[in-house]
Amino acid sequence: MIDNYDSVDVFIGVDVGKGEHHAVALDRAGKQLFDKALPNEES
């Protein structure tokens, strides 16, 4: 549960996978701000 929900402007989710990761960011209204596959590398 998020305390002080009203003070959060952006929510970020990350799906961690073997081949690649994926990140999504949404604003409070649910508008998608970021949606991108990210490489899964040791570096």
Work out the pLDDT band at 2, boundaries 50, 70, 90: confident
Contact (Cβ atoms closer than 8 angstroms) between residue 26 and residue 34: no
Q: Stretch 11-35: mean pLDDT, rounded?
A: 94
| 30 sits in which H/E element | none
Cα–Cα dist 4/16, whole Å: 27
Q: Supply the pLDDT for residue 15.
A: 94
Which residues are CB-neighbours of 15 under 8 A, at least 6 positions away? 21, 22, 23
Q: Stretch 8-34: mean pLDDT, rounded?
A: 93
Work out the pLDDT band at 27, boundaries 50, 70, 90: very high
Work out the pLDDT band at 36, boundaries 50, 70, 90: very high
Type of residue at 41: E
